[in-house]
Amino acid sequence: MARAIPLVFMILLGGCDDATAPQPPPMSPCVQMAAAGDLPLFDAHFHWISPASDAYSAEDLLSRMDQGGACRSITSSTPNERTLELLALAPERVVPALRLYRTEDDKFQWSERTDMREFIAQGLGEAEFAALGEFHLFQEARMDSPGVQALVEAAGSSGLDLLAHVEPSHIDFFFGAMPQVRIFWDHGGFQTPAQLEPYLARYPSLWVDLAGRNEDVAPGGTLDPAWADLIARYPDRFLVGSDPFTVELATNYVWVLETIRHWVAQLPPDVAARVAYQNGESQYPWRPVP
Ligand SMILES: [Zn+2]
């Protein structure tokens, strides 16, 4: 898509500062893109994961965000240093989340690790993270495991949001343990609209990220009526995301964003804008970088 403002170049080149010239009011990259006439996407599920994205540099990824019209992203990476690298390069566009993994193998074993308390504390000491996750819990996970207990403690004391790739029972567990927590349910737990509706009704601080759900929400590119109806009833509770966790998805990042934009644009315009970027912006308000 045509970009009026190649943001990555603005960031990389910096401004030619003229102290006497009137400065425009600081504006979120999402608002800038929307003002240029495009539908920006707040990518609520972005990764820079080794080895899937080893071929890409931070500059490559930001350039792809520009190409695909992703104005900001909630980013979690393996290892976490990669998120910090992206954050340093584009602090106005990266909402950093602390992933709980040293390597991707931890996806299946982090909850049984006995060093999670230290791992999380050390990670949180390295940057101002906005959330904990993405973390995965599968059907057989134990909620009294040392890793889950460390996560609950960390979320409780830090007040950070959870980016949770989990089963419905885990959502019930976390809200039971921490009624005040905010949870972004990755992929909507791969639930159907009928299964999601009671969760959205029961938990006002539950948001649904629809990364990886394009073929469910819009089979063949056409928005499914049941999804359209649920999103219209909870227009402030849905976000979109790309989830580039494989080589293929990282390579096809721009295409993934176009696929998302295609179905989002079939929603009523005010709902489309909320799902595309306004919900992300309202939950993670943009601040000018000092
Ligand atoms: Zn993911």
Task: Tell the residue number behind the tokens 């909870």, with chain if given.
Answer: 234
**If you average pLDDT over every residue of the chain, what do you get?**
92
Span 125-144, pLDDT tens digits: 999 999 999 999 999 999 99
d(CA 5, ligand 1 centre) in Å: 28
User: Regarding predicted confidence, which is higher, 23 or 88?
Assistant: 88
d(CA 256, ligand 1 centre) in Å: 14
167, 113, 131, 239: CA torsion to nearest 10: -30
Distance CA 249, CA 253 (A): 6
d(CA 122, ligand 1 centre) in Å: 22
d(CA 16, ligand 1 centre) in Å: 38
Phi, psi of 72 (to 5 degrees): -145, 165
Assess whether pLDDT exceeds 70 at residue 10. Answer: no
Average pLDDT of span 190-205: 98
Q: What is the pLDDT of residue 6?
A: 46
d(CA 25, ligand 1 centre) in Å: 34
Residue pair 105/84 in contact (Cβ under 8 Å)? The answer is: no
pLDDT category of residue 4 using cuts at 50, 70 and 90: very low
- According to CATH, the topology of domain 44-283 is TIM Barrel (3.20.20)
Q: What is the pLDDT of residue 161?
A: 98
d(CA 134, ligand 1 centre) in Å: 6
Assess whether pLDDT exceeds 50 at residue 9. Answer: no
Distance CA 159, CA 139 (A): 26
d(CA 76, ligand 1 centre) in Å: 8
Residue 233 in tokens: 């009833």
Task: Tell the residue number behind the tokens 């909507």, with chain if given.
Answer: 188
d(CA 21, ligand 1 centre) in Å: 43
d(CA 82, ligand 1 centre) in Å: 15
- The pTM assigned to this predicted structure is 0.91
d(CA 261, ligand 1 centre) in Å: 19
Question: Which candidate, 153, 147, 8, 180, places its Cα nearest to that of 166?
Answer: 147
Helix (H) / strand (E) element for 118: namely helix 116-124
Average pLDDT of span 106-111: 96
User: Regarding predicted confidence, which is higher, 146 or 5?
Assistant: 146
pLDDT category of residue 18 using cuts at 50, 70 and 90: low
Query: Omega of the bond prior to 219 within 30 degrees of 0, cis?
Result: no
User: Regarding predicted confidence, which is higher, 10 or 180?
Assistant: 180
Question: Which candidate, 234, 220, 200, places its Cα nearest to that of 263?
Answer: 220
Residue 4 burial (10 A CB sphere; 0-12, 13-18, 19+): exposed
The SS3 call for residue 13 is: helix
Neighbours of 265 (CB within 10 A): 12
d(CA 90, ligand 1 centre) in Å: 21
d(CA 165, ligand 1 centre) in Å: 8
Q: What is the pLDDT of residue 1?
A: 44
Determine which of 14-18, 38-42, 248-252, 269-273 has the lowest per-residue pLDDT on average.
14-18
d(CA 4, ligand 1 centre) in Å: 30
Span 210-246, pLDDT tens digits: 999 999 999 999 999 999 999 999 999 999 999 999 9
Q: What is the pLDDT of residue 19?
A: 56
Q: What is the pLDDT of residue 53?
A: 87
Distances (CA, A) of 75 to 106, 149, 157: 18, 24, 22
Question: Which candidate, 111, 35, 106, 114, places its Cα nearest to that of 76?
Answer: 106
- Which residues, other chains included, contact 192 with Cβ-Cβ below 8 Å and sequence gap of 6+? 226
d(CA 233, ligand 1 centre) in Å: 26
Average pLDDT of span 185-198: 98
Share of the chain above pLDDT 70, in %: 91
Neighbours of 70 (CB within 10 A): 31
Q: Could you say which DSSP state residue 20 is in? A: T
Q: What is the pLDDT of residue 80?
A: 97
d(CA 27, ligand 1 centre) in Å: 28
Q: What is the pLDDT of residue 24?
A: 64
Q: What is the pLDDT of residue 290?
A: 78
Query: H-type helices in 29-145, by residue range?
Result: 29-35, 58-68, 81-89, 116-124
Span 152-178, pLDDT tens digits: 999 999 999 999 999 999 999 999 999
Span 25-80, pLDDT tens digits: 689 999 999 999 889 999 999 999 998 889 999 999 999 999 999 999 999 999 99
d(CA 14, ligand 1 centre) in Å: 31
d(CA 44, ligand 1 centre) in Å: 10
d(CA 13, ligand 1 centre) in Å: 31
